[in-house]
Structure 1
């Protein structure tokens, strides 16, 4: 059965490749025009609305729970209230005999974080990233050394990594200029048979970004050749925040550069040309399709 994301991808492709109107797209895919407009506006379908559950039995005791959590701000870490301890105190001190543990636990988990933020204890929270299949990718360059025509030469490895599966494509170039940057993308798109449906994550590489507009947004002044390239292939960029604040935003590909360099380029490969090296890299990428990341059931390929 086709997923909503796959439907959005087909609508966007038909609009981009065939230039279909909204009416034609709605008729072809048997959806409403509002759905077509939504697909054209963004590659990822909006999340389904989850109804907010109320807990009327807990309402009379929320003030007491908040007071307990507030006292935890100055308490030693190992002597703070757990949800189970809060439930016991509510039963003993407030006569709350009919509350379930799960109701208290869910409220405490959310409210504790809010109180910590209000008190300045929790400035920033990093949430593990989850990625839909084929939706996102990451791109980066890494330095590598090669014995090229019997000369030790510094080169630059382009790495493209699918965020969901970990499938990666690598190519080695003499520079990390825009030509290599674009050629690496083309090689990756040919290898995976398409482009990510949501976006590709980048540092603020000069091949793509001319100027970073600092502030709360991720606005960038982009290189016009790069704009034409991504418009032609039909994908969107996601630019990470400069400096350490954006280091976690594309950690997958940075780790992949190190993994590939340690496992495939140590010791330094000895080749007569970069074409010869990249032919070996293609073979290594194909072999890596059978590997598993950590304890995942599926292989990356």
Structure 2
């Protein structure tokens, strides 16, 4: 059973408080270093993991060229813009060096957003949907055919679903 770091912190803190266990005993019970137990006891929230800054030395000589292509793409029609595959192929055609696709993909994904923000072009965005508790629902009506006493009968289905909890109610009637 693998625990998330937050769950592990919660269990360590609970055992320390309820069972009055020592740092060494907690360390032994959960199979972690005493330093982690001290961290859990000092703060209920684990410190976020630091991610190393990765560089792409193979991509370095072509970054300015790719940036120019991406800037030109902002004015081009949507179907004529460079894809990551096309950028990878074009680097290979024009410069004679094969750069791995993931290297180009990661660079282009980051730079597209930055270039669009610099120019002021619209950036893709998502709107988070917030449903009020007990206030938002979805309703639908439909026809259903049911076998009643050996005869196929047309009935009407009423479907009601609460958007917040996802609980649903369905009713069928003949009229």
TM-score in terms of structure 2 length: 0.61
Deviations 1:142-195 (A, max 9, x none): 059xxxxxxxxxxxxxxxxxxxxxxxxxxxxxxxxxxxxxxxxxxxxxxxxxxx
Count of residue correspondences: 139
Measure the CA separation in 1 of the matches of 2:131 and 2:13: 23
Residue 242 of structure 1 aligns with which residue?
A: none
Q: Does 1:63 align with 2:48?
A: no
Query: Which residue among 20, 40, 43 is the counterpart of 1:41?
Result: 43
Gaps of 5+ in 1: 129-137, 145-253, 268-301
Residue 27 of structure 1 aligns with which residue?
A: 24
Measure the CA separation in 1 of the matches of 2:81 and 2:64: 17
Residue 14 of structure 1 aligns with which residue?
A: 15
Measure the CA separation in 1 of the matches of 2:92 and 2:82: 15
**Contact conserved, 1:11 with 1:39, CA < 8 A, in 2?**
yes
Measure the CA separation in 2 of the matches of 1:127 and 1:39: 38
Deviations 1:22-44 (A, max 9, x none): xx55223113245433465244x
- From the superposition, tell whether residues 122 and 36 of structure 1 become closer, same or farther in structure 2 (CA, over 3 Å): farther
- In the TM superposition, what are the counterparts of 1:140-159 in structure 2 within 5 Å? 141-143=133-135
Bigger shift: 55-64 or 82-91? 82-91
Larger radius of gyration: 2
- In the TM superposition, what are the counterparts of 1:28-177 in structure 2 within 5 Å? 28-30=25-27, 31-33=33-35, 35-38=37-40, 40-43=42-45, 45-93=46-94, 95-123=95-123, 125-126=125-126, 141-143=133-135
Gaps of 5+ in 2: 28-32, 137-161
Task: Please provide the CA RMSD for this pair.
Answer: 3.4
- From the superposition, tell whether residues 124 and 25 of structure 1 become closer, same or farther in structure 2 (CA, over 3 Å): farther
Measure the CA separation in 2 of the matches of 1:36 and 1:2: 20
**Contact conserved, 2:13 with 2:40, CA < 8 A, in 1?**
no
Measure the CA separation in 1 of the matches of 2:88 and 2:75: 21
Measure the CA separation in 2 of the matches of 1:39 and 1:140: 36
Deviations 1:246-293 (A, max 9, x none): xxxxxxxx7343x31xx23x55xxxxxxxxxxxxxxxxxxxxxxxxxx
- The offset of 1:68, in angstroms, is 0.6
- The offset of 1:57, in angstroms, is 1.4
TM-score in terms of structure 1 length: 0.38
